């Protein structure tokens, strides 16, 4: 789906889909894309992370751009560029995506969060 950066898009909850690359039952995480495609400067995801779930710190993400995560409930431990950051409900963490980064729910309860990835370069045509 190729959309213009000048187009308004409404994304009903019923149309959201899981992002296979970011969701893993084994790792206890489920993320769904809140925007209909990745042909924009922003990608936005809603995530549900089970206790003990998250991203394997032995396989961190690393890519161009910037990223933020706003924790809605629970708490997540982020490892960014080798440093630990505890992010609790109501907290936001913002970092360059070219730093190696991963996260884990170390708490006893389910965590929910919103991720925003900001791409670098020219906006898509």
Q: How far apart are CA 5 and CA 71, in angstroms?
A: 27
Domain 18-108 classified CATH 3.40.50.300? no
Q: What is the pLDDT of residue 75?
A: 96
pLDDT tens column, 22-70: 666 777 788 888 887 656 678 899 999 999 999 888 999 998 999 999 9
Q: How far apart are CA 15 and CA 105, in angstroms?
A: 27
Looking only at the bridges linking them, the beta strands covering 29-33 and 42-49 are antiparallel
Which one, of 120, 117, 119, 19, lies nearest residue 68 by Cα? 117
124 pLDDT tier (thresholds 50, 70, 90): very low
pTM across the whole model: 0.82
In the chain, where are the structural domains located? 18-108
Q: Is the pLDDT of residue 71 over 90?
A: yes
């Amino acid at each position: 789906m190729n959309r213009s950066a000048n187009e308004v898009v409404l994304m009903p909850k019923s149309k959201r889909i899981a992002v296979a690359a970011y969701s893993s039952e084994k790792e206890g995480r489920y993320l769904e894309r809140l925007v209909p495609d990745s042909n924009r400067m922003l990608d936005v995801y809603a995530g549900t992370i089970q206790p003990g779930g998250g991203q394997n710190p032995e396989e961190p993400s690393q890519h161009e751009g910037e990223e933020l995560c706003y924790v809605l409930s629970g708490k997540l431990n982020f490892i960014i560029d080798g440093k630990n950051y505890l992010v609790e409900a109501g907290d936001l963490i913002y970092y360059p995506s070219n730093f190696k980064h991963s996260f884990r729910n170390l708490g006893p309860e389910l965590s929910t969060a919103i991720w925003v990835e900001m791409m670098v370069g020219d906006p898509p045509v």
